[in-house]
Structure 1
Amino acid sequence: MTLALPSLTSLNPPRLGRIERYVLVQQLRSLGVALAVIGALVMLIDFVEVSRGVGSDQDLSALRILGLVALKSPSVIVQLLPFVFLFGTLAAYIGLNRRSELIAMRAAGVSAWRFVLPAAGMALVLGVLTVTVLGPLASAGDGLWQRERARISGAAPDASSNAAIWLREGDDQRQMIIRAGRQDRANARLLDVTFFIYTTDSTGNRDFSERIDAQSAALSAGRWRLTNAVGASIGQRAVTYSSLDLISSLADEEAFERFARPQSTPFWSLPNQIERIENAGFASTAYQLRFQQLLATPLVFAAMSILAAAFSLRLMRLGDLAKMSIAAVVLGFAFFFMNQFSSAMGSAEVVPPLVAAWLPPILTGLAAFTLLFYTEDG
């Protein structure tokens, strides 16, 4: 008995037909137009804002302001990309409907799923590309914008900053809270430093152990080098040290840099940033929420694409296409406000960041699929 081997053609993945490719091309064109319109509006608003804000403090040229806008606007545009997919997909299918091309497709027995699902798949791919490539570039630009704005307005720290610095570090056995009255960047030192040292017992309770005040502290090679320090433990006399070393888990540059905003932290750097913040003893909820929201971005794009398609499949001869389109826009804005509300709940730790980030896109996707099933299959 011989076994029949599958042919090479049967092993090939399914390919898009002409109809699917045509609809995808129309959708890509509409997405490009929607992105251009929204991007132009965002840059125009940012240009006016930067001109009135930073530009009013310093005499900046129009070219310089445009460069600052180019750093600031991409992060805002990336946040508005769900509306690009909503408006772009809606415009593409309404155009097909107006030209009676949808009527011809449906009359030929073509199911809406044949061109809606490939469009949603394309939205997923573009979402992954946005999260992994475009998003990090926009986050880097936002970080540069924040530093440039602070430098131009004079708020950036110079060689010697008078702003108090708080740090926290430690492990399961010991925790240190560090307060520095000033910092000397030129010599890489913290000045007027106080170390509050806590020990952790076997039950997990932390007890105050020692306080050390020092004239200066320099971080190098995993150690704090304290100069002219005075230490005192509970129930003991103060001890003076001309020089004292304390083991540290911080990197050398972390004594002087502050944690970047979640929006300014690239996607690939967020896991390490979350670990650093938690190791330092701070809450990383905002960064966890940002990371989960970025992971959910492809699903958001796909849900918006399906939602727009489901609302625009109604044939023009049946009427109410304008009302359906308005309803799609209203639902899109409803998703935006629901996402903002969910983010606020997650930031306040009312709900876990995982739930706050994934619940809005999942609900939107389910609503879009439900409407599409009703429209297509009754």
Structure 2
Amino acid sequence: MINASFFPSRRLAFYMVRLFVTRSVAVLIALVLILMTLDLLGESGKILAVPGNTDADLWRYVGLRMPILLARFLPFSVLLGTLIAFVGLNQNSEVVAMKAAGLSAHQILAPLVLASIGIAAVLFAFNELVVVNSTRQVTAWSDNDYKPVPQSSGMVSNVWVLNGDDLVHAGIAGGRPFTAQGIEVYDRGGGVLQRVIKAARAAPRPATGDWLLQDVRIYDANMNVIRRLPQMAALPGLTPNQLTLAKVDPTELPYWTLKKRIAELDAGGRPDDEARAGLAHKIAGPLSTLLMPLLAAVAAFGLARSGQVLLRAVLGMALGFAYFVVDNFSLAMGNAGTYPPLVAAWAPFLLFLLIGETVLIRTEE
């Protein structure tokens, strides 16, 4: 007798969701602890090499990196957690009992898909409220060689802009009032390098339309000499907006702020393919958790005594890995302007949704 309800019984649904969530969380914790340990081993020497940094800065680094790792590996943990749960259900013949009770493969998967939608919503909120801020802070800190960075919102780091013929690099820029640190100006004339100007700090002067550089070191390529000045005026015509728009990283900006930056890029006639692809991926990325039960479902079905459980689990893992590879490749193509932004963000999701449904229907339904 076929069960006409789309969901199984409430007790069975809660049982499967509990298996799914607990195993996914266990895998996520194990993965993040291992990766955080390896990451800290690689960066701890650089952090402690800076005068004034202590063990507290190591814990600060852990606090900034942990949310990034959690968000990045949550979909992967959902895949592995689903596989572990399904293999256990298969080996204990619980899936056979469900199908004998009249449940189809889609009905068995329905509670997990619903739980995945909830996880996707939590992941999106976590990205918007926590991960973007952590990414911005840890990127600025690492770009500054783990030296102290001003605590200010809207900071961008490692920015390159072209001001006329001159190439300008800012280590850190932003804040209120707007300031830049680690300024380097490659003064060129007719395509030939004339001077290299380095300044510890710089601030715009709206009244004169230039910038005031402080603690300046000038290398004259023609005279082959170095001069030092306490301050000097430079960079006429360069605006703070050019620095902030020179680096629009979707991973460092929340959804609505990124949308505003895209509008500013459009108004300034600047390329925005990477920003638009990143904006669309802010929705498509968390929704990848919805695909994981579908791609891993191949491990749930088939008789355990047939000896193909391990083969099915490997196939489910391979499908999940393939999704992450294709998703990263597609996003890279979107950033380069090769794919349209919406295609770059959503094509892998839709492709593997069709693949997962095809495999499930052909093998079980």
TM-score by length of 2: 0.72
Q: Which residue of 2 aligns with 1:200?
A: none
Contact 1:165–1:179 (Cα < 8 Å) also in 2 = no
Matches within 5 A, 1:146-157: 146-151=139-144, 153-154=146-147
Aligned-pair CA distance for 1:80 = 2.1
Matches within 5 A, 1:218-237: 218-219=205-206, 225-226=208-209
Contact 2:295–2:316 (Cα < 8 Å) also in 1 = yes
Q: Which residue of 2 aligns with 1:22?
A: 15
Q: Which residue of 2 aligns with 1:121?
A: 114
Per-residue displacement from partner, 1:318-338 (whole Å, max 9, x unpaired)? 221001111211222222221
Aligned-pair CA distance for 1:148 = 2.6
Q: Which residue of 2 aligns with 1:139?
A: 132
Amino acid at match of 1:338: V
In 1, Cα distance between equivalents of 2:17 and 2:254: 30
- Bigger shift: 137-146 or 296-305? 296-305
- Bigger shift: 302-311 or 96-105? 96-105
* 1:98 is aligned to 2:85: no
Stretches of structure 1 that go unaligned for 5 or more consecutive residues are: 1-12, 158-162, 169-176, 195-215, 229-245
Amino acid at match of 2:353: G
Aligned-pair CA distance for 1:84 = 1.1
Seen in structure 2, the aligned counterparts of structure 1 residues 277 and 373 have a Cα distance that, compared at 3 Å, is same
Amino acid at match of 1:354: L
* 1:334 is aligned to 2:303: no
- Bigger shift: 310-319 or 257-266? 257-266
Q: Which residue of 2 aligns with 1:362?
A: 350
Stretches of structure 2 that go unaligned for 5 or more consecutive residues are: 1-5, 151-157, 188-202, 212-235
Local SS of the residue matching 1:351 = coil
Amino acid at match of 2:205: A
Q: Which residue of 1 aligns with 2:72?
A: 79
Select the structure of larger CA radius of gyration.
Answer: 1
Aligned-pair CA distance for 1:368 = 0.8
Runs of 4+ with >6 A deviation: 177-187, 189-192
In 2, Cα distance between equivalents of 1:336 and 1:67: 29
* 1:55 is aligned to 2:38: no
In 1, Cα distance between equivalents of 2:302 and 2:334: 37
Aligned partner of 1:297 among 262, 266, 285: 285
Per-residue displacement from partner, 1:256-291 (whole Å, max 9, x unpaired)? 646452211123322112112222332121111111
Seen in structure 2, the aligned counterparts of structure 1 residues 353 and 112 have a Cα distance that, compared at 3 Å, is same
**Number of residue pairs aligned between Structure 1 and Structure 2:** 307
Aligned-pair CA distance for 1:312 = 2.6
Aligned partner of 2:296 among 308, 311, 320: 308
Aligned-pair CA distance for 1:150 = 3.8
Matches within 5 A, 1:5-16: none
Q: Which residue of 1 aligns with 2:217?
A: none
| Coordinate RMSD, CA, aligned | 3.8
Aligned partner of 2:63 among 62, 70, 73: 70
Matches within 5 A, 1:112-261: 112-151=105-144, 153-154=146-147, 166=161, 218-219=205-206, 225-226=208-209, 254=241, 257=244, 259-261=247-249
Seen in structure 2, the aligned counterparts of structure 1 residues 107 and 69 have a Cα distance that, compared at 3 Å, is same
Seen in structure 2, the aligned counterparts of structure 1 residues 187 and 320 have a Cα distance that, compared at 3 Å, is closer
Q: Which residue of 2 aligns with 1:279?
A: 267
In 1, Cα distance between equivalents of 2:136 and 2:159: 22
Q: Percent identity?
A: 24
Aligned-pair CA distance for 1:167 = 7.3
Seen in structure 2, the aligned counterparts of structure 1 residues 122 and 285 have a Cα distance that, compared at 3 Å, is same
Contact 1:132–1:267 (Cα < 8 Å) also in 2 = no
Q: Which residue of 2 aligns with 1:35?
A: 28
- Bigger shift: 361-370 or 261-270? 261-270
* 1:346 is aligned to 2:334: yes
Local SS of the residue matching 1:146 = helix
Local SS of the residue matching 2:209 = strand
- Bigger shift: 348-357 or 107-116? 107-116
Local SS of the residue matching 2:65 = helix
Amino acid at match of 2:33: A
- Bigger shift: 69-78 or 146-155? 146-155
Seen in structure 2, the aligned counterparts of structure 1 residues 330 and 227 have a Cα distance that, compared at 3 Å, is closer
In 2, Cα distance between equivalents of 1:65 and 1:256: 30
Amino acid at match of 1:333: F
TM-score by length of 1: 0.70
Seen in structure 2, the aligned counterparts of structure 1 residues 45 and 280 have a Cα distance that, compared at 3 Å, is farther
In 2, Cα distance between equivalents of 1:312 and 1:164: 49
Per-residue displacement from partner, 1:91-127 (whole Å, max 9, x unpaired)? 1111222232222222222222222022112212211
Aligned-pair CA distance for 1:255 = 6.0
Seen in structure 2, the aligned counterparts of structure 1 residues 61 and 119 have a Cα distance that, compared at 3 Å, is same
Seen in structure 2, the aligned counterparts of structure 1 residues 256 and 247 have a Cα distance that, compared at 3 Å, is closer
Amino acid at match of 1:281: G
Amino acid at match of 2:75: P
Amino acid at match of 2:320: G
Local SS of the residue matching 2:270 = coil
